[in-house]
Amino acid sequence: MERKFSSGLWVFANSIDKYGGYTESLSVKDQIKAASSVKGLKGVELIAPLHVNLDTVAEVRAMLEDADLEVVAVNPYLWTEPIWQRGALTSPDPKVRQAAVSTGKRAVDIARLFGAKKMCLWPGEDGWDYHFQADYSFLWEATADGVRQIAEYGDDIQIGIEFKMKEPRTHMLVGTAAKAALLGVELGLPNVGAYLDFGHALMANENPAETVSLLARHNRLVGVHVNDNYGAGDDDVIVGSVHFWAILEFLYALECVGYDDWISLDIVPTRENIVEACQQSITNLNNYYRLLEKLDRQALQKAQSEMDAIQAQAIVQAMLIQA
Amino acid sequence: MERKFSSGLWVFANSIDKYGGYTESLSVKDQIKAASSVKGLKGVELIAPLHVNLDTVAEVRAMLEDADLEVVAVNPYLWTEPIWQRGALTSPDPKVRQAAVSTGKRAVDIARLFGAKKMCLWPGEDGWDYHFQADYSFLWEATADGVRQIAEYGDDIQIGIEFKMKEPRTHMLVGTAAKAALLGVELGLPNVGAYLDFGHALMANENPAETVSLLARHNRLVGVHVNDNYGAGDDDVIVGSVHFWAILEFLYALECVGYDDWISLDIVPTRENIVEACQQSITNLNNYYRLLEKLDRQALQKAQSEMDAIQAQAIVQAMLIQA
Amino acid sequence: MERKFSSGLWVFANSIDKYGGYTESLSVKDQIKAASSVKGLKGVELIAPLHVNLDTVAEVRAMLEDADLEVVAVNPYLWTEPIWQRGALTSPDPKVRQAAVSTGKRAVDIARLFGAKKMCLWPGEDGWDYHFQADYSFLWEATADGVRQIAEYGDDIQIGIEFKMKEPRTHMLVGTAAKAALLGVELGLPNVGAYLDFGHALMANENPAETVSLLARHNRLVGVHVNDNYGAGDDDVIVGSVHFWAILEFLYALECVGYDDWISLDIVPTRENIVEACQQSITNLNNYYRLLEKLDRQALQKAQSEMDAIQAQAIVQAMLIQA
Amino acid sequence: MERKFSSGLWVFANSIDKYGGYTESLSVKDQIKAASSVKGLKGVELIAPLHVNLDTVAEVRAMLEDADLEVVAVNPYLWTEPIWQRGALTSPDPKVRQAAVSTGKRAVDIARLFGAKKMCLWPGEDGWDYHFQADYSFLWEATADGVRQIAEYGDDIQIGIEFKMKEPRTHMLVGTAAKAALLGVELGLPNVGAYLDFGHALMANENPAETVSLLARHNRLVGVHVNDNYGAGDDDVIVGSVHFWAILEFLYALECVGYDDWISLDIVPTRENIVEACQQSITNLNNYYRLLEKLDRQALQKAQSEMDAIQAQAIVQAMLIQA
């Protein structure tokens, strides 16, 4: 299994030599510079128009080439901005919904210019905060309609809905992998699937390895974000620092379904040096790949074919002990 | 909106005049008698072969007619029994999987004899307990295959998969409404959907009202169980005793999608008199319907069409205050 | 039971006529103006030095008198600022710890000038984010030492530790009411207790009514913040919009222990008009007090004296139905 | 650090060669035999009178000597039995409360006969299931009174309250370590503390290592149960199978506070061979001790003294990689 590590460029939005949450954002150029200083990082996901728009593609491309970073995905900026206050794809205002679709199409245009094949579409403002606040059938209808328009326009781009249960809303509509997959199946569009954020799967009480399997079954696994959290919120801490067995099983599941593509960091250190936190995340991932080299796959498959928990435990715990 | 209250017959498995969890199970006859003593209860869900098999249909039918109880659903008994120890539809043993399918088909036969139109299919042993224990693609394949066989055999019966995140396993495969719906869509069978247990939706951190909307959108809402819990486990306490706003919104959502069918109690009092707990659950439901009569639907729809949380709050809180 | 509603002044930090999270902070003067526009709001909690310092006491007092708002508490500003990046009371740097204590003492000075009797002390940066990151015995020692110094200096001020499980750190040290109470008992200082934030109690899976009882038992209930959330994070949504039964029981518990003091709003609307969200919160609280007027306290006490859940349900559900 | 592994004898209540939850309970003799077949297990905790009463002490002692098993603790049987249906120490019926205290005193008597020094007191029925059901001040008063009576009677026995948030009740009164410690401090009895069940700490969203530190700070760490779960319920799965970093940090924390006593298995396999599950748990623990041998304690203490998360990660992740 090849190991292609990338990162959301947004990860580097804050200074690398001051405390995470407390300093001004860096310029795109400095974000790219920070990213390029992480050993083993070979690609970035860009947000359009936050990081790049049609006018700045050439400029950003030059920066990325200098930094030896590939563009993995171009993701439409459908959150935080005041226009999305009541939702983006699902705003009550049809003009806002149209703006969201246009933002998605522009991201497609930019992806094509970079030769990127994927979009991570995070409908982060599409949901609700209170009981009785939303007409859920409208939310679903508007989401399906918006995604369809973007996906038909960008039919050469894999659109991965980045499902998430909550934050910034108390409830987001597309909260689970199965909802994202169901959306793709409903639309009948082969290029609509899920962007699997490890931490978002945990927030949904999914076992990320099973999520991989579910999405692969429906040919809807578009991309992967890695990070970690304590289960109840999107802590976005260093990869592998909390869910040890879950990340090992996740990496193994990716291998099982033949996912041989980018693995993107999406961590948000709030007190740590960002470059160091990314570097440690990659160190941890490489350690875990090294442990997996010791996994007796044949024995494990036999144990699984019997649902034998004791054997499965014996086999995976053996990775920890030196021969 | 009509109000047709039913109950799982299993709810009455324990004595009505001794403490819930501590006494011997009642006979089917006594369970029916207990159910019939709950005012407002007009139907029951049966488990086959736990409550009834092909040989006892006539006998049970007579008891139910005496008790003036209709059969709402006949549900295959695919849990607890030793044979299902490593899974039912997903057992590693093909003979066990076949037994699970046969149990499902027998439940179809019995449903037809009772004139019941639904099956609540709970794959309660189909999942896993440990990381690395299961081959998830096999679990999905086996589940899809088993459900397909039962659903094709019982093509006049609506099969609702009762999704649940956990308990008795630490993880069950079909854990969410979207997974159940996706299974139905994948199979392309119109009679495969979800049996929506209010508490199971809560366990999945779903807002049950949104779950109703999602399932209705895909024509996959087969039936409804009501109960309550504290969010993290299947407490099955008295309906309406915890999630007040959620159950009100849920009942409203059922109205919105035109669900005009049975609402089944599925509570498990462990210390309370079971008949009294059921009676209080129905009292609570009737209270909540009465509150909903005061809901200004037109104003609410307007608030929802603007995603106006403050207005939505003002409107729903007004139900509580006397005119 | 008297009803004295106050609010954290910080609640009004964002504009009242633009979208919550997206606009610039208001001046202290405008925050006070916004607070004064909420009908029924009679007091505020101030943060020192964020809202007021020793030099601006007279100025702020004048603003508050104009606005007819009393000062309920003066709370030391021990979070967000860069100096607290590795902790405040528990920083590894003794100078920072000393600065935290000094900030607490200044808040005492200011409280005295305003005639306020309480401090809500939130050690929001004191905790850890990663396994193995912290020496917990040091964290406890430093917390106890810092709180002792502040409390001995301000021995006429009730110091309520605002316990919280997490956010902004993944783990905060004083996460539960019992930890706060234990700290007070350990120090042997009668003026150290807990500031009970309803939502923080929920985050700790406490039933806030029981928390009231526990703290009252140890004479450690200093003050109360109200808001609501969905259980897993500090959503700080409108009071009463989620946990209906829990807030009713909480208000009843306050009555039972004779708490007859300020109830402070601590909500953080991110998309709603802040004044309207506060107004709706007070409307909801008043509605709930009105429901509680219908509570048959004598019958409830009898039911509780038998641990009779069915009777307790019957009694509390009856509040909803008009006579 | 010495490694003394014991187990609750109840762990072996079900057959070792048939499926866990589905078979008849074994005799005490056979449970002891099963326990003795687990390599590395040297002690057991007994429940009185479930496993032993004053009349059977000699008989049970003989069985244990044959099996080469020491008695670690004698725990009063205050749950499941019909008499405790409305609570044990907190029953509304004073006779039942007295029976609970007597059961505790008998366990003290039996402990003395075995030379055991500890009691794990689990008030598993003392709590509530519904909002408004309980008078919490009574619950606290009755709990304090009952524990005091038992602890004064058994002043040579360390009484560890086994705190737990829920199950079998939806809420148990003594739900957290801090509540247990507070109870001990309140009573002013040095022999009242907490029995720290690793999984119960997780259920309370405690980090078990911090729990160790908190309890040690107050000299209230009586004993330790190990197992694992997925965070939201008492799954009692194989030790180390889920929370890898948490158990490592927990074992390290025990070392730091100088806990050099029994570590008791308290797992409840429902589908696995019980002896094998215990054996795997001990294998895992021994593996983790071996990993901890590679921990650079000096470097870790330095990182902790700076709250340096990156360094702490680097140090602990290094345990996984062969030199």
Beta strands in A49-157 (DSSP E): 70-76, 118-121, 127-128
C283 touches chain B (CB under 8 A): yes
pLDDT tens readout for residues A20-31: 445 567 899 999
DSSP letters for B64-81: HHHHT-EEEEEEE--SSS
Q: pLDDT value at position A24?
A: 62
Q: To probe the interface with C, which of A24, A85, A172, A200 has the most C CB atoms within 10 Å? A: A85
A283 touches chain D (CB under 8 A): yes
Closest listed residue to residue A272, CA positions, set C128, C96, C77: C128
Closest listed residue to residue C142, CA positions, set C85, C91, C193, C180: C91
- Which chain C residues are closer than 8 Å to B313 by Cβ? 238, 241, 280, 284
Which residue is it, tokens 């330095």? D302
D50 touches chain A (CB under 8 A): no
pLDDT tens readout for residues B186-218: 999 999 999 999 999 999 999 999 999 999 999
pLDDT band at B14; cut points 50, 70, 90: confident
- Which chain B residues are closer than 8 Å to A133 by Cβ? 303-304, 307-309, 312
What's phi and psi for A78, nearest 5 deg?
A: -115, 35
What's phi and psi for C204, nearest 5 deg?
A: -90, 10
Name the helix (H) or strand (E) containing C264.
strand C262-265
Q: A residues 88-117 near B, CB within 8 Å? A: 91-92
The residue in chain C having the minimum alpha-carbon distance to the alpha carbon of residue B285 is C317
Q: pLDDT value at position A19?
A: 57
Q: pLDDT value at position A16?
A: 53
Residues of chain D with pLDDT > 90, as a percent, come to 93
- Which chain B residues are closer than 8 Å to A300 by Cβ? 132
Which of C290, C313, C321 is the closest to B241 by Cβ?
A: C313
Which of C205, C291, C321 is the closest to B290 by Cβ?
A: C321
In chain D, what is the greatest distance between 2 CA atoms, to the nearest angstrom? 64
Stretch B209-235: mean pLDDT, rounded? 98
- Which chain A residues are closer than 8 Å to C238 by Cβ? 130
Q: To probe the interface with A, which of D38, D242, D282, D320 has the most A CB atoms within 10 Å? A: D320
- Which chain A residues are closer than 8 Å to B300 by Cβ? 132
> Under 8 Å CB-to-CB from D292, ≥6 apart: which residues?
D248, D251, D252, D255, D319
Which of B231, B276, B320 is the closest to C310 by Cβ?
A: B276
Q: pLDDT value at position D25?
A: 72
A101, A308, B219, D124, D229 from D14: Cα distances, Å: 60, 19, 45, 21, 20
Confidence check: pLDDT of B22 > 70: no
Tell me the two tokens of residue A91.
């705003």
Q: pLDDT value at position C270?
A: 86
Q: pLDDT value at position B84?
A: 95
Q: How near does any CA of chain B get to the CA of A267, in Å?
A: 24
Stretch B269-282: mean pLDDT, rounded? 94
- Which chain D residues are closer than 8 Å to C249 by Cβ? 131-132
- Which chain A residues are closer than 8 Å to D283 by Cβ? 314, 317
pLDDT band at C15; cut points 50, 70, 90: low
Which of A131, A168, A230 is the closest to C241 by Cβ?
A: A131
- Which chain A residues are closer than 8 Å to C170 by Cβ? 229-230, 235, 237
Q: To probe the interface with C, which of B313, B316, B322 has the most C CB atoms within 10 Å? A: B313
ω into residue D168 within 30 of 0, thus cis? yes
List helix spans (H) across chain B: 28-36, 57-67, 94-114, 136-153, 177-187, 198-203, 208-217, 244-256, 274-293, 297-305, 309-317
Q: A residues 202-261 near D, CB within 8 Å? A: 231-232, 238, 240-242, 244-245
Contact between A242 and C131 using a beta-carbon 8 Å cutoff: yes
pLDDT tens readout for residues C135-150: 999 999 999 999 999 9
- Please provide the distance, in angstroms rounded to a whole number, between the alpha carbons at the two ends of chain A: 23
Q: pLDDT value at position C231?
A: 96
> Under 8 Å CB-to-CB from B283, ≥6 apart: which residues?
C314, C317
Closest listed residue to residue C119, CA positions, set C156, C64, C170, C171: C156
Report the C-alpha gap between C181 and C185 in whole angstroms: 6
Q: pLDDT value at position B24?
A: 61
Stretch B170-196: mean pLDDT, rounded? 98
- Which chain A residues are closer than 8 Å to D277 by Cβ? 310
Confidence check: pLDDT of D29 > 70: yes
Q: What CA dihedral angle connects B307, B309, B315 and B321, to 10 degrees?
A: 170
Q: Inter-axis angle of helices D208-217 and D244-256, to 10 degrees?
A: 20
Confidence check: pLDDT of A49 > 70: yes
Q: What CA dihedral angle connects B6, B11, B12 and B14, to 10 degrees?
A: -170
- Which chain D residues are closer than 8 Å to B235 by Cβ? 129, 170
Chains adjacent to C (≥3 CB pairs closer than 8 angstroms): A, B, D
Q: To probe the interface with B, which of A131, A141, A249 has the most B CB atoms within 10 Å? A: A131
Closest listed residue to residue A215, CA positions, set A172, A251, A182: A182
Report the C-alpha gap between C166 and C156 in whole angstroms: 30
Stretch A202-224: mean pLDDT, rounded? 98
Q: To probe the interface with C, which of A126, A130, A131, A170 has the most C CB atoms within 10 Å? A: A170
A307, B130, B308, C107 from B126: Cα distances, Å: 11, 13, 42, 58
pLDDT tens readout for residues C112-132: 999 999 999 999 999 999 999
Report the C-alpha gap between A208 and D284 in whole angstroms: 23
* B·C CB contacts under 8 A: 59
Query: Is this prediction's pTM over 0.95?
Result: yes
Contact between A86 and B134 using a beta-carbon 8 Å cutoff: no
Tell me the two tokens of residue B13.
């498995």
Q: What is the mean pLDDT of chain A?
A: 95
> Under 8 Å CB-to-CB from A182, ≥6 apart: which residues?
B178, B181, B182, B185, B218
Q: How near does any CA of chain A get to the CA of B21, in Å?
A: 29
- Which chain C residues are closer than 8 Å to D186 by Cβ? 185, 218
Buried b (16+ CB within 10 A) or exposed e, C117-146: bbbbbbbbbbbbbbbbbbbbbbbbebbbeb
Q: To probe the interface with B, which of C202, C236, C244, C286 has the most B CB atoms within 10 Å? A: C244
Q: pLDDT value at position D26?
A: 86
Contact between C320 and B280 using a beta-carbon 8 Å cutoff: no
**Beta strands B70-76 and B41-48, pairing class:** parallel
pLDDT tens readout for residues B49-73: 999 999 999 999 999 999 999 999 9
Stretch B270-298: mean pLDDT, rounded? 96
Stretch C149-168: mean pLDDT, rounded? 98
pLDDT tens readout for residues C220-275: 999 999 999 999 999 999 999 999 999 999 999 999 999 999 999 999 998 999 99
Q: B residues 133-192 near D, CB within 8 Å? A: 166-168, 170-171
Which of B21, B86, B237 is the closest to D170 by Cβ?
A: B237
Which of A238, A287, A310 is the closest to D320 by Cβ?
A: A287
Report the C-alpha gap between A35 and A37 in whole angstroms: 5
Q: What is the mean pLDDT of chain B?
A: 95
Contact between C131 and D209 using a beta-carbon 8 Å cutoff: yes
Confidence check: pLDDT of A300 > 70: yes
Contact between C252 and D132 using a beta-carbon 8 Å cutoff: yes
pLDDT band at D2; cut points 50, 70, 90: low
Q: pLDDT value at position A306?
A: 98
DSSP letters for C69-86: -EEEEEEE--SSSGGGTT
The residue in chain B having the minimum alpha-carbon distance to the alpha carbon of residue D130 is B241
Contact between D270 and B168 using a beta-carbon 8 Å cutoff: yes
Chains adjacent to B (≥3 CB pairs closer than 8 angstroms): A, C, D
A109, B4, B203, B286, B295 from B248: Cα distances, Å: 45, 16, 18, 11, 10
Q: pLDDT value at position A210?
A: 98
Closest listed residue to residue B171, CA positions, set B109, B138, B123, B241: B123
- Which chain D residues are closer than 8 Å to B270 by Cβ? 129, 168
Stretch C76-95: mean pLDDT, rounded? 96
Q: Between C19 and D8, name the one with better pLDDT.
A: D8
pLDDT band at B2; cut points 50, 70, 90: low
- Region for B19 from its dihedrals, namely left if φ exceeds 0, alpha if ψ lies in -120 to 50, beta otherwise: beta
Which of A276, A287, A310 is the closest to D273 by Cβ?
A: A310
Q: pLDDT value at position B3?
A: 85
Q: pLDDT value at position C19?
A: 55
In this structure, chain A runs to a length of 323
Closest listed residue to residue D62, CA positions, set D16, D38, D27, D29: D29
pLDDT band at C17; cut points 50, 70, 90: low
Q: pLDDT value at position C14?
A: 72
SS3 A279: helix
Which residue is it, tokens 């695919």? B78
Q: pLDDT value at position A25?
A: 72
Three-state secondary structure readout of C34-72: HHHCCCCEEEEEEEECCCCCCCCHHHHHHHHHHCCCEEE
